[in-house]
Chains A and B, each alone.
Chain A
Amino acid sequence: KNQVEQSPQSLIILEGKNCTLQCNYTVSPFSNLRWYKQDTGRGPVSLTIMTFSENTKSNGRYTATLDADTKQSSLHITASQLSDSASYICVVQSGKGQNFVFGPGTRLSVLP
């Protein structure tokens, strides 16, 4: 069964600190892996998309990694800001079309 798991479920850090969120997946066939940021009451916003051949992709202070052999991805946030408080959702697309498998998200809280 295609599944995406994320850890931790929630995380609290202080402003300015770094953090890393994890994503493990069992999705086949694999097309790409995406990280989304979802603010409370808003729709998810795309951060990165990585294909099989990419193992690192950055978007500002966000850096995603992908290990297609172990089927793991991470999202590293550098020098966190209060505005980083949100849910971060890992999504794996299987084949083409609609087949996106969403993880449950990690809820990040950045405190001053």
Chain B
Amino acid sequence: GAGVSQTPSNKVTEKGKYVELRCDPISGHTALYWYRQSLGQGPEFLIYFQGTGAADDSGLPNDRFFAVRPEGSVSTLKIQRTERGDSAVYLCASSLMSSYNSPLHFGNGTRLTVT
């Protein structure tokens, strides 16, 4: 696979449920980012990994949101006790390194709908 892969592409869940969103970055990319995008808005930063560790999680809105990247490649964004306001497209991006001038490569996102 040449690009960033995100699964599932769509997820519908009931309020209060737990969801996991998966991101497979481009092989060899050490930097991985999660963003949330609402309709008509630009992506909003959630969390950034450099390798296995979360280098910056300041964008996570509250403690219901958590993300892991245990082996430095695949990452999972976990949302507990989902709320209707969590409905959005969750985008994952990876880059070769975090230094400037490295382009971000985005996946096509997971559209989360909380009913």
- Are A and B a genuine interacting pair, yes or no? yes
What's the tally of chain B residues with a CB closer than 8 Å to chain A? Answer: 27
CA distance A42 to B104 in the complex (A): 14
Within 8 Å by CB of A31, from B50, B55, B56, B100, lies B100
CA distance A41 to B4 in the complex (A): 15
Complex contacts, B28 vs chain A, CB 8 Å: none
Indicate with 1 or 0, residue by residue over B60-74, a CB within 8 angstroms of chain A CB atoms.
Answer: 000000000000000
Q: Tell whether, in the assembled complex, residue A43 and residue B100 are in contact, meaning their CB atoms are under 8 Å apart.
A: no
Complex contacts, A51 vs chain B, CB 8 Å: 100-101
Complex contacts, A96 vs chain B, CB 8 Å: 98-100
Indicate with 1 or 0, residue by residue over A61-97, a CB within 8 angstroms of chain B CB atoms.
Answer: 0000000000000000000000000000101010111
Residues of A at under 8 Å CB distance from B?
A: 4, 31-32, 34, 36, 41-46, 49, 51, 89, 91, 93, 95-98, 100, 102-105, 107
